[in-house]
Amino acid sequence: MAAAAERTDELVRDYLLFRGFTATLKQLDAEIKADREKGFRVDKIVDQLQQFVQSYDLAALRDYWSYLDRRLFSRLEDVYRPTVNKLKTSLFRYYLVHAIQNGRNDKAQEFFLKQASELQNQVEWKDWFVLPFLPAPDSNPTFATYFSRQWADTFIVSLHNFLSVLFQCMPVPVILNFEAECLRSSLIQEENESLRHKLFALQAESSRMKKEELEVEQAVVHHKLPAYVANMDRLGDSELDMTCNQRSTAHSLQSRGGFLSTFLSQSKKGPSRPAHPSGASPTQTGSMLLGKKEPTNHQSAKGKEGTVSSKDGKSHFSGLVSGESSSLQQRQKRLQEHGKERKELLSKGTFQGQSAEKKTDTGTAETEPSSELHAEQTETSAKMPTSSAEAVGVRQEQPFIVLSQEEYGEHHSSIMYCRVDCSGRRVASLDVDGVIKVWSFNPIMQTKASSISKSPLLSLEWATKRDRLLLLGSGVGTVRLYDTEAKKNLCEISIDEDMPRILSLACSPSGASFVCSAAAQSLVSHMDFSVVSSGGKSMNQVPGKLLLWDTKTMKQQLQFSLEPEPIAINCTAFNHNGNLLVTGAADGIVRLFVYSVEYSQKWFEGV
């Protein structure tokens, strides 16, 4: 809520300045400066209460608590009234304990004189009126708990948490929701853009997978014969059956014996096999020798056996049709033409056809092509996973798709820093010539501001809350605050003359402060050559400072302790809520600094 109030104050200032309401603007600035609610910043309110306690200003303490009760606590429901009363009682006890611990018994007696009328009827204060007159109250069992550091820290944390929850839950005017709505709209736009990119990537992936599947299917060899080849096989069988039926039984047996002798001599076999059983007809014998019809799913095997049938059919017809009519000659010629076509189409299966002729029975001849077809199918199925694995490998080599790529070419020297502002809409870039460019990339790439620094710049950082401001660290010991919209320097502060190099800047996510790393000039040029050549650790021992500055007042708040000795800090970064600071130093040590509310808002070096 504090960030929203601060942002709204800036918007109101800009509006009043735009409208020319200068008197109202002055009055607004005066009231903001004297704001007793501290812009809804809980840490500032707690600091104000502690300041009144430490200065023994009882009247101001009572007045400020009454103001908070009237402005904030009165809006709470009645069930929270006991909690408010307990916090008030603990605050006054905190005041008394602080006075007694510092030897100000007069302030404790003054407290009871002024508060007697209010506290004498309250049960929780009945034993406290003797506190100023006890010689050692910290050893008294009744008051020993309140004189411990743990109780004081617990009270401060409880008060801080109560105010934080109160500010988060209290109703706010519509104008304070402006920043939240802007942030929500920005998040929705980013989510839509992300989903759109994911959709494009999925579409491209789907198209690529379909293309790969099509290539895999095309790579698989399907052993299928054309339809007209199967029809030619049927035609040959019917012609042979019709011819054999027109011959007499004796003539058919004689022709069959001649055919078998010719067939066996051509196949170069040994002793001829026994004759067919007497019950077998010539037609059946011809069908067995010329090959049976195979099912449609074994077209490859059928094509291989068809070669044997065409060869045997031509030899058989040459002995049978010597005395036939011209119609049989035409049929023989047609069969010869079919045989030539089938030889050309099935030339790859000649070896399998000859192997089939060497078999002793038709069943064995039919089994071999089926086995070969099964082996081919097995080989094909074994190849398909390999293709799939190759396709998967291709996908792994391209994990994402670049939808767009642009280049910003306004710089003419090496780039030192690039930083995106907190809104994600603008980029600030700095080169070695001291040229600063502020540019946007959505919807088009456009330069928003440009500046040239006379002194060398070493670091750059965006302000967190007022994202129009840039922090620029120079090589002469200064930090500048640059307004990217007004295109001018707002202020310039001097850090340390002895440590002119501003190596790193980091702004807290709360926007209230920033960290500055200052370092002395490099020691390499002043060192002994023997030390440099030996590679000693002293090469990196460049002294430096790590400072915390207030963003509004541009005054130093804190100097961090760097153990075991001051060292140059090369890089700094805050975590998401600003309570953790990570630094990387020239001595190769990463230092963590933790901001603790429990210990009166102090920074501690972590481990």
- By the 8 A CB rule, do 546 and 575 touch? no
- By the 8 A CB rule, do 517 and 546 touch? yes
How would you write 96-159 as a 3-class SS string? HHHHHHCCCHHHHHHHHHHHHHHHCCCHHHCCHHHHHHCCCHHHCCCCCHHHCHHHHHHHHHHH
Edge-to-edge strands of the sheet including 501-507? 501-507, 513-519, 544-550, 556-559
- By the 8 A CB rule, do 583 and 517 touch? yes
Q: Of the ranges 29-33, 77-81, 210-214, 361-365, which one carries the lowest mean pLDDT score?
A: 361-365
Question: Which pair of tokens denotes residue 420?
Answer: 């995106």
Q: What is the DSSP string of 331-376?
A: HHHHHHHHHHHHHHHTGGGHHHHHHHHTSSSHHHHHHHHHHHHHHH
298-315 pLDDT, tens digit per residue, is 444 444 444 444 444 444
Residue 480, Cβ neighbours under 10 Å: how many? 19
CATH architecture of 415-522+540-605: 7 Propeller (2.130)
- By the 8 A CB rule, do 423 and 444 touch? no
244-258 pLDDT, tens digit per residue, is 555 545 454 454 445
High-pLDDT (> 90) share of the chain, %: 18
CA dihedral 363, 368, 374, 378 (to 10 degrees): 160
Instruction: Note the pLDDT of residue 289.
Output: 36
66-103 pLDDT, tens digit per residue, is 888 888 888 788 888 888 889 988 999 898 888 888 88
Top-ranked range on mean pLDDT: pick from 245-259, 509-523, 585-599: 509-523
Instruction: Note the pLDDT of residue 19.
Output: 86
Residue 73 per-residue DSSP state: G
Q: HSE on the CB side for 257, CA within 13 Å?
A: 7
Q: How confident is the model at residue 520 (pLDDT cuts 50, 70, 90)?
A: very high
Residue 109, Cβ neighbours under 10 Å: how many? 14
Domain boundaries in the chain?
Answer: 35-172, 176-221, 415-522+540-605
- By the 8 A CB rule, do 261 and 271 touch? no
429-485 pLDDT, tens digit per residue, is 999 989 999 999 887 888 989 999 888 999 999 988 777 899 999 999 999 999 998
- Rounded to 5°, the CA angle 101-104-108 comes to 95
- By the 8 A CB rule, do 5 and 176 touch? yes
Question: What separation in angstroms does the CA of 228 have from each of 84, 291, 366, 398, 545?
Answer: 99, 18, 22, 46, 92
Residue 237, Cβ neighbours under 10 Å: how many? 19
High-pLDDT (> 70) share of the chain, %: 67
Whose CA is closest to 467, among 434, 425, 431?
Answer: 425
Question: Which pair of tokens denotes residue 27?
Answer: 């009055």
Residue 260: is its pLDDT beyond 50? no
Give every CB contact of residue 39 below 8 A, 6+ residues apart in sequence. Answer: 2, 5, 6, 9, 32
Q: How confident is the model at residue 414 (pLDDT cuts 50, 70, 90)?
A: very high
Instruction: Note the pLDDT of residue 170.
Output: 73
End-to-end CA distance of the chain: 32
d(CA 505, CA 516): 5
Residue 368: is its pLDDT beyond 80? no
Question: Which pair of tokens denotes residue 466?
Answer: 């007022």
> Would you tell me the crossing angle of helices 227-245 and 282-290 to the nearest 10 degrees?
150
Whose CA is closest to 108, among 117, 96, 124?
Answer: 96
Greater model confidence, 537 or 502: 502
Q: How confident is the model at residue 381 (pLDDT cuts 50, 70, 90)?
A: very low
CA dihedral 251, 257, 258, 263 (to 10 degrees): 140
Edge-to-edge strands of the sheet including 446-452? 415-420, 426-431, 435-440, 446-452
**Can you give the pTM of this predicted structure?**
0.37
Residue 27: is its pLDDT beyond 80? yes
- Mean model confidence pLDDT for the chain: 74
Residue 169: is its pLDDT beyond 70? yes
d(CA 4, CA 192): 25
Residue 504: is its pLDDT beyond 90? yes
Instruction: Note the pLDDT of residue 438.
Output: 93
d(CA 288, CA 150): 107
Residue 330: is its pLDDT beyond 80? no
> Residue 287: in which H helix or E strand, if any?
helix 282-290
Residue 446 per-residue DSSP state: E
Whose CA is closest to 551, among 595, 509, 586, 592?
Answer: 509
